Amino acid sequence: MRLTTLRPALPLAILALTSLTACKTALDLTLFASDLVGVAQTGTPMDATATLSVETGTKDKCDELHDAVATALLKGFTSAEFVACREDGMANLADFRVAVPILGAKAALQSALQIAVIPVGGNFSAVLRQDGDRIDQIKAALTKEMQLYADQKLDPAISLTLQNDLADTAKVTMQGAFVDGAPYQLSEQFDVKRRGEIRIVLSDVGNAALTDKGSLLLVLKAP
């Protein structure tokens, strides 16, 4: 099975949320296979948990900005909660926990970020989409200091962990990603045992393709 590479587009403006010029961002999702299958089959939406990490330069800057950023995020997400300031090597990060809805393929955009599940035969494609209007609302809610940098182009790193909570082994197809730490440029299928998990980090192309049409996360074949 071959996956279609989505066209590159502007990276996430939503992630330009600090007053520093050299900030890095990351979006880390946790997905359950049963949620993807359930939404595709019933149309009933569910929420995935994501951690949105923003580099702040210093811990003092994180302490200063995190409340304002969390308030601004609520303009685009149904929930947004500051988790902690932390260090990652030489970087200082502010972590926010946001709810990312999982919806059917034809559902309208309802959040700054959401996952569309598209059934194709016996497979389910999970596509991460963004809503430009809600991103603009978040940017408008930022302080004037932060708005100076809210239009900067960033390269957010999108990663996810898929947990297989189905009755048997699931098959996951990926392309252009790091899977459990190993790089794969071509389409590759992986077996994920029951109660097992797979760790996926999107390539630069996948990261840059995040628009209303979406960035392909994975294709799941349920047992």
Identity of the residue numbered 103: L
Angstrom distances, CA of residue 38 to CA of 54, 105, 141:
32, 13, 35
18: in domain: no
Could you tell me which of 206, 210, 159 has the C-alpha nearest to residue 51? 159
14: in domain: no
59: in domain: yes
22: in domain: no
User: What pLDDT is recorded for position 126?
Assistant: 92
Instruction: Check: CB of residue 124 under 8 Å from CB of residue 36.
Output: yes
180: in domain: yes
User: What pLDDT is recorded for position 215?
Assistant: 80
5: in domain: no
| Chain-centroid distance, C-alpha 12 | 10
User: What pLDDT is recorded for position 1?
Assistant: 40
Residues whose CB is less than 8 angstroms from the CB of residue 119 and which lie 6 or more positions away in sequence, other chains included: 40, 41, 105, 125
Instruction: Check: CB of residue 16 under 8 Å from CB of residue 147.
Output: no
Instruction: Check: CB of residue 1 under 8 Å from CB of residue 123.
Output: yes
Question: The whole model's pTM is what?
Answer: 0.80
Rounded CA gap, 150 and 29, in Å?
A: 23
Number of domain units in the chain:
1
194: in domain: yes
Tokens of 152: 């900067």
Tokens of 108: 């309208």
Identity of the residue numbered 132: G
User: What pLDDT is recorded for position 186?
Assistant: 81
Q: In 10 A of CB 191, how many CB atoms?
A: 12
85: in domain: yes
User: What pLDDT is recorded for position 24?
Assistant: 65
Q: What is the mean pLDDT of each run of 10 residues along the chain (223 residues)?
A: 35 34 71 95 92 84 89 91 92 91 90 90 88 83 62 61 95 88 88 95 74 78 86
Domain boundaries, position 54: 28-145+158-221
DSSP-derived pairing of the beta strands 25-32 and 157-163: parallel
User: What pLDDT is recorded for position 75?
Assistant: 92
